Structure 1
Amino acid sequence: MRRYEAIEEITKELKGDELVISANGKISRELFSIRDSACNFYMLGSMGLASSIGFGLSLSLPYKRVVVLDGDGNLLMNLGSLATIGHFAPSNLLHFLLDNEMHASTGGQRTVSSKVRLEEIARAVGYKTVKKVSSVQELRTVVSEILGSDSEREGPSFVLAKIESGEREVPRVSHEPQFIKKRFLTNLSNFTVT
């Protein structure tokens, strides 16, 4: 399974009003190519912060589902965010880790994710639902189970998707950072508490 395929599978189950925070680099580019939305916040330069931003939003907006699309290089840059998320346990946070064991956006340098069981760290720090998948079919099943449920889940949820190296050629996110921020914040102001 390639990263693009994984992002496609995840976004197929989105209803359209979930907040999606994507890690910088290829993850944001591919999400932008698949499904640009005012509900998406694309990280365009700050490595490792998608999980922290998603966490903050999940606490601020407990009635909204928050989906984080993270990469192994990004998560390893801010591993402490897992412990914080696990401690506060926001039930509306769905954390997808797309693990290709490399920093794809900066030239393919290897990460240590092949030696570190990130899903076990997530479980140990308090994520309530933890899954590991390595095929499109496995991901489809887990995504449907987690995102397709209308009932309240015990959360947060963490899904580690092992992905192959390589990517589809997609353009950079064409929106300027100021536009991304303004559009996202404007979209947030439209939400009502349910």
Structure 2
Amino acid sequence: MKEKEILPILEELGWKCRKDEVGDYFCLMDIGNVQVQIIPAIGKRSDHFRVSLMPSISTKAFTEAVEFILGEAGGFDPIIVSNDVPEKIVDFSLDDVTRLSKAAISWASAQDIEKGLAAYRALPANSKGAMPLRHLAALAITGDVGRLASYQRSFEQGDRLGFVPYITAEMLDRALLLARDWVSRPSVQ
């Protein structure tokens, strides 16, 4: 059984499955305000399968913030990612797909989005990879105008604070604009 073969089962379970730009499959499901993404991975070994759905969670607001700051659409941006190791399954079946889907939903429901966002906000400016962009997005959607304005002033004075080269002054401008907009919204409880 391959990833492509379990997609119809996942779709019957409520997942919306697609291919990404490099041809890998992923599936999304909204659970309240939380978006759950799974990336099915099935590896055939001589005597078993190694199977994982690699769940992660985010919110539409966070993903939209990342896209706005970056200045381009990117899709799903995770806040929390499960690091579970793949399961070894001898006779991989449709029941296993259902069980793994339920486990991914259960894992997602047990996560604390606010803790994930707090971890991104706490990152240092000199983080690597996608982390600086996620750091800015987390600051923006929590309305941290002060910190973003401080970053902006430092950039204007020629101090990049260790940010990776792809983080630009324009990105900081957009993050600050988003944070100011976030602060001016009426609070919804």
Question: Of the two, which has the highest radius of gyration?
Answer: 2
Question: What TM-score do the two structures reach when normalised by structure 2?
Answer: 0.28
TM-score (ref. length: structure 1): 0.28
Structure ranking higher on relative contact order (CA contacts 8 Å, 6+ apart): 1
